[in-house]
A = this chain, B = another copy of it.
């Protein structure tokens, strides 16, 4: 139930690019150095992001990487699926082959898991990198937002850790 290290690195690499002036190209070396990511591994991750159309790569001497579109059009979900593939909480949900309960169309547990997965995905989708790049750390706390708040952003605010 956890996302892997490459995804975490990818988040921070994209965040790094999002904090730069738009269109700015920066070498992988610089990102690796500033974010403490092993360079070879970062390059591998950046290739995934390139293939997914999230960043553009520039080869040759003054080369490097830049965001392929504006940060508010890039969500955590975009980066997550670029690195790990589609989110699936349970293999059963996507591949009925694996479900040992063939009887009912889907058992109660799987309906629940499907619902959980759906909101999880929506959550990842609700964060974009313009938001994240905005305030470097802890949100202003006074943050009031009309509970309709559409379009680009507005994640459910869940500030304090709940357990463990």
Task: Verify A163–B111 contact, CB threshold 8 A.
Answer: no
Contact at A136–B104, with CB atoms within 8 Å?
Answer: yes
Oligomer copy total:
2
Given A132-B112, A137-B107, A3 and B89 touching (CB < 8 A)?
A: yes
C-alpha gap A2/B86 in the complex (Å): 10
Q: Are A111 and B94 in contact (CB under 8 A)?
A: no
Interface string of A81-100 (1 = CB under 8 A from B): 10010111111111000001
Residue on B nearest A127 in the bound complex, by CB? B112
In the complex, A5 Cα to B158 Cα: how many Å? 29
Q: How many residues of A contact B (CB 8 A)?
A: 65
Chain B positions within 8 Å of A135 at CB level: 108
Stretch at the interface among A7-15, A21-29, A43-51: A7-15
- Give the residues in chain B near A55, CB-CB below 8 Å: none
- 8 Å CB contact of A111 from B37, B114, B137: B137
Sample (15) of A-B pairs whose CB atoms are under 8 Å apart? A1-B3, A1-B89, A2-B90, A3-B90, A35-B101, A36-B100, A37-B100, A76-B116, A87-B164, A108-B132, A108-B135, A108-B137, A114-B161, A115-B155, A119-B123
